[in-house]
Structure 1
Amino acid sequence: MRENKPTRKSNVVYFQIGLIAALLLTIFVIENKTEVKILKPETAHARELDSETPFVFHMPKEKPEVKQPIKENKTSKKLPTQPTEKPLVKPTVIEPSEPNDPVDYDPRKIDFEQPIDKPIENIDFRKVEMAPVFPGCEIYETQEEIKSCFSSQIAKVIKKKFDGDLAAELNLQGEQRIYVTFTVNDKGWVENIKTRSIHEELANEAQRVVKLLPKMQPGQQQDKKVSVKYSLPIIFHIR
């Protein structure tokens, strides 16, 4: 049997086939070793945030107002007008005339009107220079002490003399208020008593008690005895 010897042409064909096979094998190996990762949109976004500084919120600052320059109105300069000539007025001289009957002038006979003192109206207790003195408060020297003693003594009289059973008779409950004002006149007596309350019976009782106040030393303003107005709110709770 005759053996076929490889020819030169067949060697070239085998070489090409081997080269193609080696190339395909190389491509196959490279594709298996290289991994292609595709980042999803949310993953890419998360990585970007991780690498940046945290977001800090700042309050927006007010933009400064830009003041526009004030445009100067160009006013037309007026030419000075010539002053009008005023007619000359000749002064008239009045000659003193002699009185027909001479007047007898004696400066010693002139009566000078005496100044009339205006009466001082009622002065508020908080503003008067010297407050009225309640009996027993003479021991104090300063006005602050005298006024404090005055108020405390008034409160004691009302607490002692006010009819406490009246509220129970009227079936009242809770907090009750009575507003009282009166005047210590320039003689030291209490007058012009005014009371106000939701219940007329309470107002009348408060007026009765205030009338029991004793005579006091009157207040003074500018070294004169004056009438002094005093206000007293009465508040009591009914249980």
Structure 2
Amino acid sequence: MTNFVLVAGAWLGSWAWSEVLPDLRAAGHVVHPLTLSGLADKQGVQAGQQTHVDDITDHVDRLGLRDVVLVGHSYAGIPVGQAAERIGDRLARVVFVDSNVPADGESFVSSWPEGRAQVEAAIEGNDGFWPPLTAADCAGQELDDEQIARFLAGATPHPGATLTEPAVLRGPLGSLPATYVKCLLDGAEPNGDVARLLTGERWELVTMETGHWPMFSRPRALARVLLEAAGAGR
């Protein structure tokens, strides 16, 4: 039995995984969708990046979880990658879903140079939080009108410090057993950092013909990918 710990990206909470959960549970696994501090039902609280790392590791520690598959989508790949190091032999595999990956001493915005000034200005102008996307930002990602409406209704401002604080890695990320899921409508190739990690023996690449939010656009296909990744971690 695998313990899946699912962490969605910026602006989202545990609710974003609702259509992925049934197939994981039907396969006999336990699923832990998490909401990070400052988001969704925990919204309005200021949090830094290490707060989000602690959210994940504290959950694993508190419940004494083993055989853990940590799943990080988009922004959440950064705290998930750090948490994966810290839970040690309790980790079965880490899955990065169309996500950023942590680099020691680097932040979310430092890995996104073309948009850094825009993100930092938006945070400064919104009391320290990154405002959610608009419907126009979701175009071209295989989301229908109902899915976009659901996304926008649930999205909450994202704590800005989590995007600007640097990651802290204790060892090489490439030593972790990992699957990287590339959603092709959001770009045909992984970024350079991910491409380098994929040359290692412990990382594998999986592609999905969908957009950046597969938990909405292709939840059952995403569940199959996660189940296969869990199998690869055994």
| TM-score, normalised via structure 1 length | 0.18
Please identify the structure whose Cα radius of gyration is greater.
Answer: 1
Q: Which has the higher contact order (CA 8 A, sep 6+)?
A: 2
| Structure richer in helix, relative to its length | 2
Q: TM-score, normalised by structure 2?
A: 0.18
